[in-house]
Structure 1
Amino acid sequence: MTTVNLETLKAGETATIAAVHTDRALSYRLAALGFRIGKRVEVIRHGRFSGPLHVRIGATDIMLRKEEAQKIEVQTPAR
């Protein structure tokens, strides 16, 4: 397994959340949206011009700022 930040994944790729490195308030908000260690996350698309990242956790679609996605570590299968 390889650990990278969520922002580096391409559209269509999936990974497992390994860690969330944010302040407490954002960490609670992300947890309420489903960003928990061990959950699978799929990247749907990247916004243009460094725009938001569209991701899916289970049946929930979420838009994340690039800065937030960079603070979420995910594990991907070895390539």
Structure 2
Amino acid sequence: MIETLNNLKKGESGRIIAFKGKGNTRKHLMEMGLIKGSEIKVERVAPLGDPIEIRVKGYCLSLRKDEAKKIEIEII
């Protein structure tokens, strides 16, 4: 099943399959280590849903909801 990262709940995992958008946003996400094929897990979600904390490649990373909406994942 394909979703965007912002739709995952705490404890759910997925694999990055694509990025929406181009330019600086895409580059910024890739510079943070979010690359196609990477497995991610949602560790925490703030009370109002923004930001979310994910684990990728052994480290934790916080993303704003707007950033997470641009990451397409396959749920695993």
**TM-score (normalised: structure 1):** 0.87
Give the ranges of 4+ consecutive aligned residues of structure 1 lying more than 3 Å apart after TM superposition.
Answer: none
Matched with 1:65 is 64
TM alignment of 1:24-35, pairs within 5 A: 24-35=23-34
CA RMSD of aligned residues (A): 1.1
Partner Cα distance (2:39, 2:51) in 1: 19
Paired-residue identity, %: 29
Deviations 1:8-51 (A, max 9, x none): 11111110001111331111111111111111011001111132
Following the alignment from structure 1 to structure 2, what is the Cα–Cα distance between the partners of residues 28 and 68?
12
- 2:35 equivalent to 1:9: no
Partner of residue 21, structure 2: 22
Q: Helix, strand or coil: the match of 2:33? A: coil
* Whole-angstrom CA distance in 2 between matches of 1:3 and 1:54: 20
Q: Which runs of 5+ in 1 are unaligned?
A: none
For the residues of structure 1 that align with 2:71 and 2:32, how far apart are their CA atoms?
13
Equivalent pairs, count: 76
Matched, 1:48 2:47: yes
Task: Tell me the TM-score normalised to structure 2 length.
Answer: 0.91
Unaligned runs of 5+ in 2: none
